[in-house]
Structure formats: structure tokens, C-alpha cells
Amino acid sequence: MIWIDTHCHLYSEEFKDDRHEALKRALVQDIQRIYLPAIDSESHQAMLDLEAEFPQHCFAMMGLHPCSVGDDPTQELAIVKEYWDQRDFVAVGEIGIDLYWRKDNLEQQKHAFRTQIQWAIERNKPFIIHCREAFDEVFSVLEEFQGSPLKGIFHCFSGTAEQAKRAIQFGLLLGIGGVVTYKKAGLAEVVASIPLSHIVLETDAPYLPPTPHRGKRNEPSFLLHIAEKLSETTGAPLSRIASMTTENALSLFHGEPSK
């Protein structure tokens, strides 16, 4: 079984003492590919360095995170755009709207989100959505692009069955992470109602560790706890969870089915 962690900040400070070991622990579990979402210019270089070191296993995205939009994202967006003009990346991300940390710059967040979706469409690339307490706002921006071929991942999806349906209607996959293992979240029931063809797995490490690692730093090797929970709630064998989610991820990021 081959696994893919579609969303992991393995380049972040939290891994500075054991980054190689954390990657090795993932590889031992046959988690062979780790996709790295960008945040902002403070960490772009660390992300690119990790990708350059492990080009078979680590794949960089490029984008501006909604929590880094600030009062005026002009400069950060220009940096992202420059990277895109220089080279190719697997996806635009992570982008979106976060009204948990900050609400007063919603207009700037929407502007950055919209601008980067446009870049993804122009380049025929998928985009990775970060949405926190902002379902309506995210969907309303997506609606502006109706008629354009959208593809991407609704990262760390933790909404209702209705919201899952809407995301799928926009052409998006649902990124399922550690939250599915949290008893109180009720996400497992929602996920069980969604066909596996719309699901990819992610850890979002170092954040959101799955049970039984809650309270610790998350890492890519914990992906299997998420897969096991998914197998338990859907009744699908682990081998099918692996083959489906791996194929979904490969075809999204590279336009090719898995072998």
C-alpha cells in the first residue's frame, strides 16, 4: 500500500531537530509523497530547500495563506507571483479565508483568495483551500468562478454533509485529516457518506494530531491513524483506502492515475 500526505508543513520550525527522522518514519510506513503547502515569504525558502533535498518525496506548492494576508497583501502576492513566473509548482496553496484569527480584513482575504484562484485557473493548476469559520465566504468567492474548470482540495475539511456536497459540486476533493478521529467532531459520520473518489488524506502536521497522539506534535507518519479511522467508518478495507486516496492525489497534482 502506498500512501500520500497531501498537506504537511514538514519544513516548519517544529521539525528543526528531527526533520529527516520524521520523513524516514513516514517512508517506513510507505507514505511516499508529502505535499508541502506554502504559508508566506518567511517560510518559502525552508519549504523549497526541503523539496530540493528530497525531490522524490517532497513536493512544494506556492501561495499566500489567509492568515498571512494582513492589512495589505500586495507585496506578499507579488512574491508568490514571481515564484510562479520562475518555475512550476504542483498547486496554488494554501489559500482561502480564515475568520477565526482575524475578521476585520475579510475584504483583503477575499482579494488574495480570488487573485490566486485566477492564477491557478490560468495555469491549469489545482488550488488548496484553507477555510476556517468561513464556509459562506469561501463558497461565495468560488461562485464568482462558476463556468471555469476548478480543481483542488478543500483542506482539513470539517464541515457538514451539506457543505461537503457543495464543495464536491465545485469540483473539489475533501482533504481529511486528524479531526476525523476526534470523537466530538462528528466528522466521521459525514465522511462515511462521501464516495472515496472525492477524498484525499492529509496530516496538516505539525498541527491537528490524530487520536491517539492528541496534544503532541503531529507528523506525517501519523497519517495511518486517519486512514484506519476512515476504513472503520466506511467499511472499506485499508488497501482500498490507500489505492483510492493515492490515485485521487496523483491525478489531481500530476494529472496521472497511480500505478
Q: Which residues sit at the interface with Zn ion, rule CB under 5 A? A: 37
246 and 256 in contact (C-beta within 8 Å)? Answer: no
Strand order in the sheet with 3-5: 3-5, 31-36, 58-60
Cα–Cα distance, 11 to 32 (Å, whole number): 16
* Least distance from Zn ion to the Cβ atom of residue 40, Å: 12
- Closest CB to Zn ion belongs to which residue? 37
59 and 84 in contact (C-beta within 8 Å)? Answer: no
| 209 DSSP assignment | P
Cα–Cα distance, 126 to 202 (Å, whole number): 16
* Least distance from Zn ion to the Cβ atom of residue 142, Å: 19
Report residue 113: phi and psi, to 5°.
-60, -55
- Using the minimum distance from each CB to Zn ion, give the nearer residue, 57 or 130: 130
- Using the minimum distance from each CB to Zn ion, give the nearer residue, 37 or 66: 37
Cα–Cα distance, 64 to 48 (Å, whole number): 15
- Using the minimum distance from each CB to Zn ion, give the nearer residue, 10 or 242: 10
* Least distance from Zn ion to the Cβ atom of residue 47, Å: 11
* Least distance from Zn ion to the Cβ atom of residue 251, Å: 21
- Using the minimum distance from each CB to Zn ion, give the nearer residue, 37 or 220: 37
- Using the minimum distance from each CB to Zn ion, give the nearer residue, 167 or 234: 167
* Least distance from Zn ion to the Cβ atom of residue 157, Å: 13
